[in-house]
Amino acid sequence: MSGPTPTRKARLGARFVRRRITAGAAAVGLLALVSFGVSRVAGLVGGDRADAASSRTSLPVAVRTTAAAARDARPLVRAPRPSPTVAQGAVGASSAETALVRTMRLTGDLTPKSVVASPAGVVVAQNMMYRHSVSAFRADGALLATIDDSVDLGAFGIKGHPGTTRGAPVEAAFTRDGRHAWVSNYSMYGAGYGPEGLDSCRAGDGTSTSTVYRVDTSTFAIDRVVEVGAVPKYVAVTPDDRTVLVTNWCSWDLSVIDVASNRQVARIPLGGTYPRGIVVSPDSRTAYVALMGSDRIVTVDLRTRAVRPFATTGDGPRHIVLSPDARYLYVTNNGSGTVSKLERATGRVLATTHVGTQPRSLAIARDGKALYSVNYESSSVSKLRTSDLTVMQTVPTDQHPIGITYEPTRKAVWVACYGGSILVFDDSRRPVA
């Protein structure tokens, strides 16, 4: 068969050129649009952020952008179909009048020690040394990424540990815009590190120091590594996003990380054993730290680094949350089986309620009307009214619930069960009579 004539070839060539020009113009336009969008986001992230009070009524633009990216991301595993176990009623006006209804059970390569939601609808579960990973989910339960904890510490400027080193992700905290998550590692595994830490330990016993990672939630890559103390547990980011705080279980102190210089700038002895939960005042000046080896909460002045007594709550205070208006602190007392409500201005204990055996982590609804406590040995979640700590509901879970978070975009409560599952409860609707 003969080919096209020279005239036809010329026409085809011209048509091809026109198509290439059109495609090129479209690509240039698209690049310009993307560049404009990126510059807008960069400007918003780098500029002044809204006050905490206004953020409760509408998400900042940077958070909405991150939320849209999470919603549109292609998941590794699709979202399961929600399957409520009981009928759901009308949408409630506040969390004080709604009821927990389980809608999802997530499994597969999970041993979650904690679960934490960002303001933008990304939820991360930290799987410790049992899986050496962080699992990142979309708010609808779709698996977005499995983040391996292997790093080359030399690439992050940390000397003395050649080759590949592995971590053990235990807790996480998001920046205010949700673009980054800081993750603590119970221990590090590789050249230059000794045996892993133990639950029973003491300052100066030779337990190796560890690190925290920073994870970029747009790429799910570890982009920073910072050395901290021995067996870091809880991690908190100050509201101004300038400082990261880490409680070190086995060195009995608080690591202070300066975000701008990406380094630990202080290790503050806390005057007590086994520090864990942290919350920070809205002005980023005061940290409240639970000393789980005692019955005490202490304050840390983040400017002078002075440590002072604040409150006595019960045996084994573990986790602390702050009310949205910053007037109250709520604390789980692991040994006492209770939750306490404290006045932040004075440290006075206003109420204490029994919830179950070994309450571990605590979460608060975005409207501040309800609390959620996971009870480790009772295998349950208790929902409490914040005004008077009345237990409104107790629901069963899988064995050993240990972590909990409130996911604000769907008004859902995520529960990490140490045995290998995450349960998701809807808390947006009134109970059916």
Asked whether 95 and 427 are in contact (CB, 8 A), the reply is yes
pLDDT of residue 59: 58
Tokens of 61: 């633009």
Cα 47 from Cα 41, distance rounded (Å): 10
Asked whether 169 and 145 are in contact (CB, 8 A), the reply is no
Higher pLDDT, 87 or 267: 267
Tokens of 19: 């198509």
pLDDT of residue 86: 81
Q: Which helix (H) or strand (E) holds 264?
A: strand 263-269
pLDDT of residue 277: 98
φ and ψ at residue 232, rounded to 5 degrees = -65, 135
Asked whether 416 and 426 are in contact (CB, 8 A), the reply is no
pLDDT in tens, 150-179: 999 999 999 999 999 999 999 999 999 999
Higher pLDDT, 13 or 121: 121
* Buried/exposed 253-276: b ≥16 CB within 10 Å, e otherwise: bbbbbebeeeebeebbebebebbb
pLDDT in tens, 21-71: 344 444 434 333 333 333 333 332 233 323 333 333 355 666 767 767 776
Q: What is the mean pLDDT of residues 4-32?
A: 39
Q: For residue 152, which of 210, 222, 219 has the smallest C-alpha distance?
A: 222
Q: Name the band, by pLDDT with cuts 50, 70 and 90, for residue 111.
A: very high
Asked if residue 333 has pLDDT above 90, the reply is yes
Cα 361 from Cα 375, distance rounded (Å): 8
pLDDT of residue 103: 96
pLDDT of residue 73: 76
Q: Which helix (H) or strand (E) holds 115?
A: strand 114-117
pLDDT of residue 167: 97
Report how many helices (DSSP H) and strands (DSSP E) the chain contains, helices first.
Answer: 4, 30
SS3 content of the chain, % helix, strand, coil (to 5): 15, 45, 40
- Alpha helix ranges (H) inside 51-206: 52-55, 61-72, 128-131
> Taking all residues of the chain, what is their mean pLDDT, rounded to a whole number?
87
pLDDT of residue 64: 64
